[in-house]
Structure 1
């Protein structure tokens, strides 16, 4: 019925039954989805459907949100396919969710039946029919397109054992890997929730009291950027020299042990500066990329408690390096999590859109390489990181608007005051963007230094936006 073209394979695998379609899902996505709506586009070539783009969205907890989620997913996949020059001929829909307490897999299937119908209707309005809609739950699957004449068991059909199908063999031969569940993938970025989180939060509080005045000061902001990058470079090289460990969970625990709480706190706060973040994003290829990605993952896990919004910076860096090195799956999830931490984080939004549209990351790499060349400050040129500032950083310290884009505090966020044991407020200890931390700023006023930084940071993001737009338009013209 549908042909799945496997990278590196000399032939295609033909799927003819709902069971084969259900088994194919992890290989289409690269992981086993959970609590997910998935749409897969099919393209008609010589009357045989070939799999095209895929789109995934978490199942909204409230049924009243199902309509908008269905419309969003269908429109996004169809429009994205059209931008790549191939409108889908049909769709396959999947609903994946494990039973709640007291539920069975069949209960899940019945509860989600209205969502399946909304998906089919949303795709139908776009003239793209859903030819199969499956619910996968509790190790079984059901088809919503069954005519109900006794052809499908009411208790569902058991899924095959992982790795035992013809498709699994073909995928293994072609070098495709299924990297566990979506939860396993996102767990690498989630903030700590163990008792260790308290120590990290204390370190963040302490570091913010020391760094906030310096980040906000015209005379010291550039020095903080240099110190942040020097420390990040030190930890990156420490990670690179560490003994290899097999398995993602053991490897992440090893990296956590190589990073001290106070080091993580300084880096998390320092990366709230957009220019510092952009300079760190230059570690995107070659020997720098892999340890840098590990560092950004580790920092994302340290954005605990009230500092969770600060995770937007390291998550965006992780997503960017993953995309730059060819791992679109991890890139999309990390960038989506960055937008979850801060929906207004422009760099994450641009990268997420570009990655989802299948653009070439080389356009962004060229931009960052140019910035690195302009700075004239490669790692080889900084043997001791003596504190000598590059021209752009020196101009930033004096408040001059230069093409190097002075650091900005505009990405830091205001935080709600939280009472502490002595009855005071912890709002003043939350990070560089806290209003109460701006000692010289008049209530309701605007700091001139912050205004200059914000404008410069917007120019920096604007240049990146222009590079991505140029690549997007060029891709459309080629299509």
Structure 2
């Protein structure tokens, strides 16, 4: 099979070892607790990699079959919509050993999951030509019948970055981003002592802002104040001295934003119109500091304000996608849906990103909204199959909802952003949540007093108050 880098260089992969080594480069990160399918297309008598799809491995074994069905159906269906149905698939199951386990124990424990993946793909007439388990720095093939080829203790993986594919990827500028856990840590709420101070600031900000937001004139004033404050903080972040490393950079940004400022921005962005205006900071010199601001605000949605993270997470996902980082975009948007499964802007963007919609068409919508003009005609989809991801946003979260699967078509969200909704009409469902019970467990949120105005500013509800049934 052949992997095409961003340049014209091609690397041919022939062995299970090479396939195992290729996985981080195919996804752009090192998967954890993951089941992955990679499409293979015939091209001139050789296999060529196509779309990829990943789901977290459900904790309960009884949910494995449904998860395998969703993963297989999602990848094959999305490939068909692009006119490129895969001829074959490569399957991976990746999980680190639990305490007291070894890699070979993981391989045995996940054998049934790998078998279910092969069955579900076979039912769709797309055979799995290789199924690999990756654990504890080793790999095993579930398809190899030769014991000497695949010893019980597995085969050690090569040192990261030493393979031919790694060299080609480095030359092409392809970056492996570590793990999803590390990426999500930049977007998850604080849990240290500072979280209590931020929660107190959000409580005080809610008491001051909610009465104004409930008043029509006051609501417009709060919106304008929010945008002005956001612009001021973005300029402050842009002027900050750069530091090396994601964690130090986030600490620096956290120190540049006061608790009161963060509270006013978080609460102000609950208004849909204000959020749409903020979404226009998506390109040029504004994009990078805006993304840093949205990440910082997501980290400030602490304690009972976790649901308020949906707007800043959605904005972070949008700016990341708009600037070419589909990996962070999908994760941020999935986390936004974990914070609020009914947040329609996140749902639409998540669908569009997973379905490979041309991001420029959405940029034109937002530019037109910013200037009051009409968007230009939308170009055709580029046909590139992105890596789809339905992983849960956090270890203790019930999981990402399935955007579009609750009976609401994208066009029904026209109140979100009319131009955007029109362009997403008919977009297919991306790969969804691996745990079907999560859809039953998730509670439908009651709308606030301003529900008639669309999403409405959820600041109108003071977190911590018990709702009437």
Normalising to structure 1: TM-score of the pair?
0.79
Contiguous gaps of at least 5 residues in structure 2: 374-411, 429-469
Asked if the contact 1:33/1:96 (under 8 Å) is kept, the reply is: yes
Residue 135 of structure 2 corresponds to 137
Residue 56 of structure 2 corresponds to 58
SS of residue matched to 1:284: coil
Q: 2:219 & 2:169 partners in 1: Cα distance? A: 51
Which residues in structure 2 correspond to 1:292-371 (within 5 Å)?
292-371=290-369
Residue 176 of structure 2 corresponds to 178
Residue 272 of structure 1 corresponds to 270
Deviation for aligned residue 1:468: 2.7
Q: Which of 66, 74, 77 does residue 75 from structure 2 map onto?
A: 77
CA-atom RMSD in angstroms: 1.8
Q: 1:286 & 1:238 partners in 2: Cα distance? A: 16
> Is the aligned partner of 1:7 residue 2:2?
no
Deviation for aligned residue 1:214: 1.4
| Structure with the larger RCO, 1 or 2 (CA within 8 Å, 6+ apart) | 2
Residue 422 of structure 2 corresponds to 466
Deviation for aligned residue 1:248: 1.1
Q: 2:247 & 2:215 partners in 1: Cα distance? A: 40
Asked if the contact 2:25/2:176 (under 8 Å) is kept, the reply is: yes
Q: How far does the alpha carbon of each residue in 1:141-176 deviate from its partner, in whole angstroms, 9 at most, with x for none?
A: 111112254421101111111111111111111111
Q: 1:318 & 1:55 partners in 2: Cα distance? A: 22
Normalising to structure 2: TM-score of the pair?
0.81
Residue 20 of structure 2 corresponds to 22
SS of residue matched to 1:220: helix
Consecutive aligned runs of 4 or more in structure 1 exceeding 4 Å deviation:
none
Residue 423 of structure 1 corresponds to none
Q: 1:86 & 1:54 partners in 2: Cα distance? A: 13
Q: 1:462 & 1:36 partners in 2: Cα distance? A: 36
Larger Rg: 1
Deviation for aligned residue 1:96: 1.1
Residue 94 of structure 1 corresponds to 92
Contiguous gaps of at least 5 residues in structure 1: 376-455, 474-479
Deviation for aligned residue 1:457: 8.8
How many residue pairs get aligned? The number is: 391
Asked if the contact 1:346/1:461 (under 8 Å) is kept, the reply is: no
Residue 119 of structure 1 corresponds to 117
Which residues in structure 2 correspond to 1:126-165 (within 5 Å)?
126-147=124-145, 149-165=147-163
Compared with structure 1, are the counterparts of its residues 458 and 208 closer, same or farther at alpha carbon in structure 2 (3 Å cutoff)? farther
Q: How far does the alpha carbon of each residue in 1:10-34 deviate from its partner, in whole angstroms, 9 at most, with x for none?
A: 3210001111001001111111111
Residue 218 of structure 2 corresponds to 220
Deviation for aligned residue 1:462: 4.0
Residue 392 of structure 1 corresponds to none
Q: How far does the alpha carbon of each residue in 1:70-127 deviate from its partner, in whole angstroms, 9 at most, with x for none?
A: 1111111111111112001111111111111111111111111111111111111111
Which residues in structure 2 correspond to 1:201-240 (within 5 Å)?
201-240=199-238
Q: 2:210 & 2:97 partners in 1: Cα distance? A: 46
SS of residue matched to 1:127: coil
Q: 1:460 & 1:313 partners in 2: Cα distance? A: 12
Q: How far does the alpha carbon of each residue in 1:31-54 deviate from its partner, in whole angstroms, 9 at most, with x for none?
A: 111111111111111221111011
Q: 2:113 & 2:15 partners in 1: Cα distance? A: 22
Deviation for aligned residue 1:186: 1.3
Residue 41 of structure 1 corresponds to 39
